[in-house]
Each structure stands twice: as structure tokens, then as C-alpha cells.
Amino acid sequence: MRNVLIIGAGGVGSAVTHKCAQHSDELGDICLASRTLSKCEHIVQTVVEKTNLKNPDAKLTVSQLDAKNTDAVAELITRNDSSLVLNAGSPHCNLAIIEACLRTGAHYLDTAVYEKEGDFNVAPPWYANNEWKHRGRFSAAGVTGILGIGFDPGAVNAFCAYVHKHLIDEIDSIDIMDVNAGDHGKYFATNFDPEVNLREIMEDVLYWENGQWLSIPCHSRSRSYDFPVVGEQKVYSMGHDELHSLSANIPA
């Protein structure tokens, strides 16, 4: 049994909280923390309303937290006896939360690569600039850190690794095409942190080809593709986290 601390109360944090509650028989007590306490309280209320807390004896609590404050994160981990931290907050907070996990011995998961506020067109590879520098410390502390556990990065990395290991002998190229044909019924709505989304479509596009990093202007390349369910859609080149780990782990 392990207790879980979830940091972040946006769309991702909400989904993570519901899923952890559904597995509370294995994950133990759950604490949801965010800068805005009311968002945490609303998410917990929806978990209760949908009867998603599998273990009725598990505690589901909320806490206000400045996730950029390592001391505050470490104190909350200790207070809740959390052995696992799920970081679904802003990527700006990653390094502070990582430091708190190393300090307390809690295992670490996140969904996006670290971004320093104000940075633009950061040189590749992104993971090597920050997170990967802590590998030795994690190993020495006996702490597990798994980066990018969402869909992209996350699931697409697992798909590529499975194909590479089990289905084909050699990969020539990897093209990741992702389209969102949903409608929030609003003039402007993103499916992730809006600051991150806007930066992604403004920055130069980094891509890996012939063993080197190359760059092109944003929106300078496009193609149409017939997707399952949503049909033919036009997609544009865009830089993204998963390329910075795939390029280091899968020869293509």
C-alpha cells in the first residue's frame, strides 16, 4: 500500500485523480494539491458523486500548494506519508518537485518536460538540459522517476519501443501525427496548459534527421492525413517533448 500526492488540478489532474481513486485499494490515501484550493475541492466532489473511490477506507484530501517551493512540496509529501508523487501541474514546477522527491524518497511521475518561464526556442535535447542530469541522484537514492507518462509523450513512446523490440528489425522514420477534432463549444479552448500550447505553435520546429537536430519555422510544413474516426485532417509540423527522448533511445 502506498499513499499518493497528485499535484495539479487542471484537466489532467482531474483525470489522474479519478483514475487513482478507482485504484485506491492499491494506491492508498490520495492528496490532491494545487495553488487554487477550490479546484481541488471540486474535483474531489466529482469523485465522490461518481462513487469512484474504490476503497471506502482510503482518505481523499486536498491541500493548497505552491509547487515551485521545494520546501513546501517536501513538507506535504512527509505530512501525507506519500510514497508516490504524480506531477500534473505546470512544467515550470518540475525541478522543484523533483528536488522534493529526492529529499523525501518519494517516487516521481510527470506528464511534460520542464520549461523555464520566459524561455523560447530552447536548444535540444530538452530532457538532457535538465531532468536527465538527475539520473545519478535518483539511482543513488533508490528513487524511481518516470518522465512523460501522458499520451505524447508517453503512450507514443511505448508504441515506438514495442514496434522496435517486437515487430520490425529496423525503423527508418517515426512520424507522430496528432489531431484534436473536438469542440468545447467555446471560442478559445486548449486541451492542455494554454501557455504551453501557445508556445508550441509559435516556436521553431525541432526535429531529428540523419543523426542531427534540425530546425524549421513553425507552420512551414503541412500535410493532409485520413485519420480513423475523424477523417481527413490537415496537420502542421510542430516541436514536441517526445522527440527529445525517442531520438536518444530508438535509432531512426
pLDDT of 122-136, one tens digit each? Answer: 999 999 999 999 999
pLDDT on residue 184: 76
3-state secondary structure 4-54: EEEECCCHHHHHHHHHHHHCHHHHCCEEEEECCHHHHHHHHHHHHHCCCCC
- The predicted model gives 176-197 an average pLDDT of 81
pLDDT 10s digits, 142-182: 999 999 999 999 999 999 999 999 999 999 999 999 887 77
Residue 35 has pLDDT above 60, yes or no: yes
pLDDT on residue 119: 92
Rounded to whole angstroms, how far apart are CA atoms 230 and 244?
28
* pLDDT confidence band for 53 (50 / 70 / 90): very high
pLDDT on residue 179: 86
Residue 1 has pLDDT above 70, yes or no: no
CATH class, domain 3-146, is: alpha beta
Distances (CA, A) of 202 to 90, 109, 125, 159: 19, 27, 18, 28
pLDDT on residue 84: 98
Q: How open is the CA angle 205-147-129, to the nearest 5 degrees?
A: 55
Residue 196 has pLDDT above 70, yes or no: yes
Rounded to whole angstroms, how far apart are CA atoms 159 and 217?
28
Rounded to whole angstroms, how far apart are CA atoms 186 and 18?
25
pLDDT 10s digits, 54-101: 999 999 999 999 999 999 999 999 999 999 999 999 999 999 999 999
DSSP β-ladder status, 82-87 and 3-7 = parallel
Rounded to whole angstroms, how far apart are CA atoms 133 and 188?
37
Task: List Cβ neighbours of 35 (8 Å cut-off, separation of 6 or more).
Answer: 64, 65, 66, 67
- The predicted model gives 185-212 an average pLDDT of 87
pLDDT on residue 141: 97
Burial of residue 17 (number of CB atoms within 10 Å: 0-12, 13-18, 19+): buried
How many Cα atoms occupy the beta-carbon half-sphere of 247 within 13 Å? 20
pLDDT on residue 87: 99
Rounded to whole angstroms, how far apart are CA atoms 31 and 17?
9
Asked, colleague to colleague, whether 3-146 and 165-249 share their fold, the answer is no
Distances (CA, A) of 12 to 61, 173, 194: 18, 30, 13
pTM over 0.95: no
Q: Does the structural domain 165-249 have CATH classification 3.30.360.10? A: yes
Rounded to whole angstroms, how far apart are CA atoms 149 and 88?
10
Rounded to whole angstroms, how far apart are CA atoms 252 and 243?
11
Domain ranges for the chain, please list them.
3-146, 165-249
